[in-house]
Each structure stands twice: as structure tokens, then as C-alpha cells.
Structure 1
Amino acid sequence: MKRFACAGLAVATLAGATAPVLAADLPLPAEPVQTYDSTPVPAARFDWTGFYLGGNLGWGWGEFDNSSGPTGSFNSNANGVQGGGHAGYNYAITPNIVTGLEADFQFSDLSKTNFRNGVGVKTSSDWNSSVRGRLGYTFDRFMVYGAGGLAIADLKVNADGAEESTTAFGWTLGAGVEGAVTNNITARVEYAYQDFGRESFTLNGNRYRSDLDANLVRFGLSYKF
């Protein structure tokens, strides 16, 4: 009887010693595989909608079409630096189509003196302005646009020892490229053509007529609110 008890105790001791070894050889349960969404997060588009305010600097050139009794008809070509400010509002109709309204004011340096039949005639324009509608197509942070509307400028004639000036009204058309430098600052390069109606001046009893066509190329920076 004691012999069977000793044998059972030995078997139990051996089983207890080998159990951890057998458990170590058993395969471990597989960990759940983590999945990741590989779809890239789209970058936020630049928002063109909003008010903006800025300044610009460029070069202008134009032609004064003049005529009078003492001098006959003649043209004066002038060019010079132009600079000023602009303000406007853009509205994105769709993600790619932007419309807006802009007003600007420029100081100009267009002046030319011609001598005809012994008479010196000086024609000049010291400032110009415009109110334009804009329509553009965007490529996220870049926009190409066209603009057109009302143009205003001063027109001055000096002859026969007298001088007279007036405010001339006309029209303007142009186009440009604008890009977002930051989320609040944009830069642009644009061209504008301006055509003003013929104006009449009376200097010492002589009637003078002048008509100005002007071209502008300018670089500008704007702050978008």
C-alpha cells in the first residue's frame, strides 16, 4: 500500500514540474491586427471670399490726342511712374469662380510739352482712378482674372500762358494674375487700359481739345481680412 502511495506522489510531482515547460511550448493567441486609413487628408483650399486692402506700384504710358486752331492736330506721348492704393471685395461663386468689385486711386506722372506753330502746349495727368468689376478663375492659391469698369482721371492743358484742368471720365479693361503668399496676404501683377473721352478747354480765347489713352502695368500687395 505504501508502495502505491509513493508511486502516486512521484507521478504528481513530475507532472507539476513539467506543466510550465509544456505551457511555454503552446502557441500564443494572435494579437488583433491594427488597420490604418491610408486615404490622405485633403489640404484646405484658400478662401478668396472677403474684403481686402492694398497698395501697388508700376509704370504708365499714354498718348494725348490734341487739337486747336493755333496748333492744328498733334499727339503727345508721355510715360512715368504710378503708385497708389486699392480696396475691394471678392466672393467665391464656386470653388473655382470668383467675382468681386474693386476701387483704386493712383498718382501718375504723365506730362508732355510740344511746340506747334510757335505755341508750347503742355498736356498732363496727375492722378487716375477706377471702379472695376472682377471675374477670376482660381487654381487654389492662384487666380487669373479680368477686370473692367469706370475710369476717372484729371486732364490738364497749359498753353498761351493759361492753364485749365478738368476731370475726365472713360472706361477701363484689364487682366492680371494673383497668388496667395499667406492666408492673409496676396500678390498680383496686372495690366489695365484706360480710354477717356475728349475734353475741351478754352485758353485765352482759343479752344483746345485733348483725349487721353493710358496703359498701366503694376505690381500690388493686398491684405485679406
Structure 2
Amino acid sequence: MTLKSLILVPFLATPALAGSLEPTPVEPAPVAPLAPVASPVTGDWTGPSVGAQLGYGSVDTDGAGDDSEDGMVYGLRAFYDHDFGNWVAGAGVQYDATDIDLGDAGDLDGIAKVGGRVGYDLGRTMVYGTGGYAHATTDGGSLDAGSSGGYYVGAGVETFVSDNVTLNGEVNYNEFSDFDDDDLEVGATTATVGINYRF
């Protein structure tokens, strides 16, 4: 073998012995899928709602039927509210049935209400004041008291527990002084909790 051949052998063998100059691709490590994150419930108070409530009432009568009694109240409600951002305004109707004994004035059958409310929007919770016209009906009793118009004022809180369902608590004072028996006056305080479906 000549000297020239010996010098060329290493150069001729290099491509066969050398690896590719391209870097070996690195496969990314597998990534575990992320669990879905539930979106928080946020309150949009605009729209109608219907609901039911259950609670307790305390009634004081003055005049011809001087007495003080208490008992359960239960009823239905329907409202329409509009969310203005920080504030919510609405109007609605409610009816609370009961059979609280009024002594000589018979039994308080129920209280119907028509009124409004103004609330402060805390996001998924609203605190509000409420008031309006109320009408009480009685049954039986020696006074034959009949029914009376009056008013109610109160305060409450309502909070979303899902996209369309809210829970609320409300305390109201109701006053009536226009019964068929002119001497009879009734003051009733009610405290209720309720569940509502918002459309």
C-alpha cells in the first residue's frame, strides 16, 4: 500500500463511521389533562321569579280584640327585578296563609301583599328593603272583623345557590286598622325563609 493510500483511508472511512449531524429529536413528556374548572355562580337579578316561603308570625291585636298570638305562616311569591349594576329594583306579589288565633276577632286567615323592593347587588347575594300594600282577612269570632287593608315594611336577603335557584330570608312588619269592627287594630310580624326559581 502506498503512502498516499494510507493517508486517504481515514478520510474515506469517516462518513461510514460518523453519525448524522442532525440532533436527535426529543419527544415531549406526556401532560396529564387538566380537570375542568367550574365557573363561579354570579348573580344576574334581571327577570321574573316565582317561589314559596315558610315561617313564623307573631300577631298583636288592640282595641276590641286585645290579644297576642303566634303561629306558622306559609305562602307563595312572584317578583320581577331589574339589575342596574350595584342596585336592583323590583316589584311583586306575595300571599301568606295562616290560622293564627285573634281571640274575639276569630282567626287570621292570611295576608296578601303587593309592593316593591330595592336591593344592593353583592354579586351572587342581594340585601334589600321592601314595602307596600297589604290586605288581611279574618274568619269567625264574635267581632265578625272581616278584612282590612294596611301596609307592610321589611328587609331581606336573597342568594344564588345555582344558575336559576335562590334562597331568601325576609322579616316583615304588617299593620291593619280598617276592619269592619272599627276598634280592632292588628300588627303582625312575620319571618320567613323561601326558595325561588328565577327565569
Question: TM-score band, normalised by the shorter chain?
Answer: 0.7 to 0.9
Aligned-CA RMSD value: 3.0
Moved over 6 A (4+): none
The answer for the alignment partner of 2:124 in structure 1 is 141
Structure 1 counterpart of 2:170, which letter?
E
Secondary structure (helix, strand or coil) at the match of 2:42 reads: coil
TM-score, with length taken from structure 2: 0.81
Structure 2 counterpart of 1:175, which letter?
A
Pairing of 1:164-183 with structure 2 (within 5 A): 164-183=144-163
Structure with bigger strand share is 1
The answer for the alignment partner of 1:209 in structure 2 is 183
The answer for the alignment partner of 1:153 in structure 2 is 136
CA 1:220–1:44 in structure 2 vs 1: closer, same or farther (change >3 Å)?
Answer: closer
The answer for the alignment partner of 2:94 in structure 1 is 104
Whether contact under 8 Å (2:53, 2:195) holds in the other structure is yes
CA 1:112–1:197 in structure 2 vs 1: closer, same or farther (change >3 Å)?
Answer: closer
Query: How far apart are the structure 1 equivalents of 2:196 and 2:39?
Result: 27
Deviation track 1:48-103 (CA, whole Å, cap 9, x = no partner) reads: 22211111111111111124xxxxxx621121111110111121110x32211121
Deviation at 1:168, TM superposition (A): 1.1
Query: How far apart are the structure 2 equivalents of 1:108 and 1:44?
Result: 35
Deviation track 1:124-157 (CA, whole Å, cap 9, x = no partner) reads: 3211111121111232222211111111111457
Secondary structure (helix, strand or coil) at the match of 1:140 reads: coil
1:196 aligns with 2:176: yes
Structure 2 counterpart of 1:16, which letter?
P
CA 1:78–1:140 in structure 2 vs 1: closer, same or farther (change >3 Å)?
Answer: same
1:45 aligns with 2:42: yes
CA 1:44–1:104 in structure 2 vs 1: closer, same or farther (change >3 Å)?
Answer: closer
Structure 2 counterpart of 1:129, which letter?
A
Q: What percent of counterpart residues are identical?
A: 28
Structure 2 unpaired stretches of 5+: 26-36
Bigger shift: 9-18 or 100-109?
9-18
Query: How far apart are the structure 2 equivalents of 1:66 and 1:222?
Result: 38
Query: How far apart are the structure 2 equivalents of 1:184 and 1:166?
Result: 40
Pairing of 1:39-118 with structure 2 (within 5 A): 43=40, 45-67=42-64, 75-94=66-85, 96-113=86-103
